[in-house]
Structure 1
Amino acid sequence: MILKLIGSILIVLSSSLIGYIYGKSYKERLENLIYLENCIKILETEIMYGASPLPEALENVYNKGNQKVSFIFALISKALKKNKDGDVLECFLTVVENMKKDLNLKKEDIEVFLNLGRTIGSSGRKDQEKNFKLILAQIKALQKEARLEKEKNEKLFKNLGFLSGLAIVIILL
């Protein structure tokens, strides 16, 4: 009897934990998009008003931004310093795997970030400013979508995990 009770508790706890982990990914995506927006704003300030060279501006973003997301800017800066004659977009492409794996970002989130890599440093000051505004507007839209997904799915997965564990226990008893 005690063995059944302990087994049942373990099943419910483990399935609840799985549901919690899935639900948490939606929350993390939203947080990371907010941090990414802040980092891009810092980068815009560094480039537009600080007139810093790109590798230095990226290092400053790493130092000033939330390190949970800003580490990607340090990686891009290192890639730029290592590959001096390389394309900026190539350096941005080096962090795509990190963004998928570590930041829970979707393909469209990463594509908006890569648009920054395509446009940065390739045009005049006014065009740069327009590009930053466009990218920040796109990130705002992605945040809105992520917020809706979080509200819809976070509770769903948490409850689904618990209820599926309960269903398994009932079936086994």
Structure 2
Amino acid sequence: MVKLIGAVLILFAGTMIGFHQASRFAARPRQIRQLIQALQRLETEIGYGYTPLPEAVTSSAAHLPEPVAGLLQSVSRLLAEGEREGKTFRECWEEALTMHWPGTAMKNAEQSALIRLGSALGISDRDDQVKHLRLAVQQLKAEEDAARDDQSRYEKMCKSLGVLVAALVVILIV
């Protein structure tokens, strides 16, 4: 009886690990899409609304789901705190990315595109900032396509692999 309960628990744990990994493959393209929407909203605020960068970041964060909203809200909060300490936009942007990145399903390619974007925002005129935002959006769209390919390739495999590895462990134990 104890072996049966242990086998069921091992199967359950292996299955859940597989499903968790598969959910990360599914979350990555969705989060990249949300990030693209955030940058497009930021581009609209800066380019057409003539909104100052701190206000544009705050406004963009209000209409997005987590984890992208949390990232932009942190940037906004760090900018407000950084004014007293003399922090630049780039420093606040990178600090917020470092804080929030582990909570996302995104990879280093998306992070490096955002770091490059952060170093260009806030130091040039409006048109140049819009160009940098569009470039970042194009880079993220390419990463989104790659993430969708990874999702279609690996999501189902992770689910199956979790169940099969757990079954193998149960067979080896019993």
TM-score, length-scaled by structure 2 = 0.92
Q: Tell me if the contact between 1:36 and 1:70 (Cα under 8 Å) persists in the aligned partners.
A: no
Q: Is the 8 A contact 1:99 1:110 kept in 2?
A: no
Change (3 A) 1:67 1:18: closer
The aligned residue for residue 129 of structure 1 is 130
Contact 1:58–1:76 under 8 Å retained in 2: yes
| d(CA) in 2 for partners of 1:100, 1:150 | 20
> Deviation per CA, 1:117-163, whole angstroms, max 9, x where unpaired?
11112223332222121111000001011111111121111111100
Check if 1:16 corresponds to 2:18.
no
Cα distance in structure 2, aligned partners of 1:39 and 1:125? 17
Give the drift of 1:43: 0.6
Secondary structure, in 3 states, of the residue corresponding to 1:123?
coil
**Structure 2: stretches of 5+ with no match in the other structure:** none
Once the two structures are superposed, the pairs formed by residues 49-64 of structure 1 within 5 Å of their partners are: 49-64=48-63
CA distance in 2, matches of 1:88, 1:155: 41
Q: Which runs of 4+ in 1 moved over 3 A?
A: none
Aligned twin of 2:3? 4
Give the aligned partner of residue 94 of structure 1.
95
2:29–2:144 CA contact under 8 A, matched in 1: yes
Residue 3 of structure 2 aligns to which amino acid in structure 1? K
What SS does structure 2 have at the residue aligned with 1:83? Answer: helix
Q: Is the 8 Å Cα contact of residues 42 and 65 (structure 1) preserved in structure 2?
A: no
Once the two structures are superposed, the pairs formed by residues 30-69 of structure 1 within 5 Å of their partners are 30-69=29-68
Partner of 2:50, secondary structure, is coil
Aligned length: 172
Give the structure 1 partner of residue 142 of structure 2.
141
User: Is the 2:110–2:140 Cα contact (8 Å) retained in structure 1?
Assistant: yes
Mark the runs of 5 or more structure 1 residues left unpaired by the alignment. Answer: none
Could you report, residue by residue, the CA deviation over 1:65-114 in whole angstroms, capped at 9, with x for unpaired residues? 22431111111111111112322110111112333211122111111111
Further displaced range: 137-146 or 85-94: 85-94
Kindly provide the CA deviation profile for residues 44-74 of structure 1, in whole angstroms up to 9, marking residues without a partner as x: 1111111111111111011122243111111
1:6 Cα offset (Å): 2.2
Supply the RMSD in Å over aligned alpha carbons: 1.5
TM-score (norm 1): 0.92
